[in-house]
Amino acid sequence: DADVTQTPRNRITKTGKRIMLECSQTKGHDRMYWYRQDPGLGLRLIYYSFDVKDINKGEISDGYSVSRQAQAKFSLSLESAIPNQTALYFCATSGGWEETQYFGPGTRLLVL
């Protein structure tokens, strides 16, 4: 969905490196989410934010941090990447009365 963009789309990094994944949306939504997807495990919620001043941990927040720089921007950081953080990462948004989530195209991360 072009309304939700993620950068980079692919990233290879080494163990111990700090990396940041970025998400931007033009939908005007207040709620933003970060998920990771692993084969056979579906999507799991890492962090979510209901507005710029609201950040909440999801199911698997250990090893991750986030920043909501503006209503339209939500970044995910891996402070010290480890190989088991290799996964497909998705940003999603939702807004107003609508409960539907709109997903970005994903960032494929490989930690060596």
Partner 1 sequence: SQQGEEDPQALSIQEGENATMNCSYKTSINNLQWYRQNSGRGLVHLILIRSNEREKHSGRLRVTLDTSKKSSSLLITASRAADTASYFCATDGSTGNQFYFGTGTSLTVIP
Residues at the contact surface with partner 1, assessed by CB under 8 A: 1, 4, 33, 35, 40-45, 48, 50, 56, 58-59, 88, 90, 92, 99-106, 108
Shortest CB 104 distance to partner 1, Å: 6
The length of the chain in residues reads 112
C-alpha to C-alpha distances, 23 to 16, 49, 105, nearest whole angstrom: 22, 13, 10
Nearer to partner 1, 17 or 44 (CB): 44
**Contact (Cβ atoms closer than 8 angstroms) between residue 94 and residue 103:** no
Peptide bond into 105 cis (omega under 30): no
Shortest CB 35 distance to partner 1, Å: 8
Shortest CB 99 distance to partner 1, Å: 6
Nearer to partner 1, 20 or 103 (CB): 103
In whole angstroms, give the CA distance from residue 35 to residue 68: 15
Shortest CB 100 distance to partner 1, Å: 5
